[in-house]
Amino acid sequence: MDESNARKLICEIGRLLYDRSYVVSSDGNVSIRLDEDRVLATPTMTCKGRMSEDSLAVTDMEGKPLTDKKASSELAMHLLIYKERPDIKAVCHAHPPHGTAFAVAGLAIDKPILSEVILTLGCVPLTDYGTPSTNELTEAMRPFVKHHNALLMANHGAVAYGEDLWQAFDRLETLEHTAKIAILAKTLGGANDLPKDAIEKLINIREKAGYLTASARCQACGYLHESEISCGVSAASNGAKVSFTREELIELLSQAANLS
């Protein structure tokens, strides 16, 4: 995306985040990866509902400013995601109230309660608390970035990312909507989980349709481990990729242990 359109889009998404109460005051931050070496990001200490296109900051991949505008202090979170996931071109961080309530209560959004969420987002893990804008926060997030497209940060908020900014925003919105439904269902006596076979069908559909790749099988959600869907463990053998189910791998490891 060219820089001028990226500037317009960040301001549009900023207004949406503010109008939908996903952020208040100067909360949250949004960025787009302009190319290999540059990121366009929301400025520090600015309400996302009233940004101007020329207020946005441009940095390199280490966060060094390339113009006179200063990026959000939470940019390190975005840079971590771009480094871990070359497929990701936009990041959206906010404090949406229902999703953040999960993060404050110490809960992940990882129950198999909504078919379309399993299809399009998968589950959202809760990462350990880390002081905002420090290495603590990025190190807590790092293990989860590869297989998930949205994360909750304990006692802080949520971040979602995608191939473009609309996809990142949509994922954030799905996270928030799911959290809201889960809270409402709880007040009605509790949500019913989808059964194992229904989950397996959904995982197969989402991979065939290209909504999520097989990498999402490795997400940190209990229902994947209880179903027949397993995280493929790849091993290089003469250049060929071999994958095992969790059970096969345990069997191989125990055989190896018996031999030694």
Q: Catalytic: which of 12, 53, 74, 228?
A: 74
Closest CB to Zn ion among 132 and 232?
132
Closest CB to Zn ion among 125 and 157?
157
Distance CA 94, CA 18 (A): 9
**Any catalytic annotation for residue 74?**
yes
Which residue number places its CB atom closest to Zn ion? 157
Closest CB to Zn ion among 6 and 153?
153
143-162 residues in contact with Zn ion (CB under 5 A) are: 157
Distance CA 136, CA 141 (A): 9
CA 107 to chain centre: 15
Distance CA 67, CA 70 (A): 8
Closest CB to Zn ion among 128 and 247?
128
Question: How deeply is 92 buried, as exposed, middle or buried, from its count of CB atoms within 10 A (0-12, 13-18, 19+)?
Answer: buried
**Chain contacts with Zn ion (rule: CB under 5 A):** 157
Residues assigned a catalytic role = 74
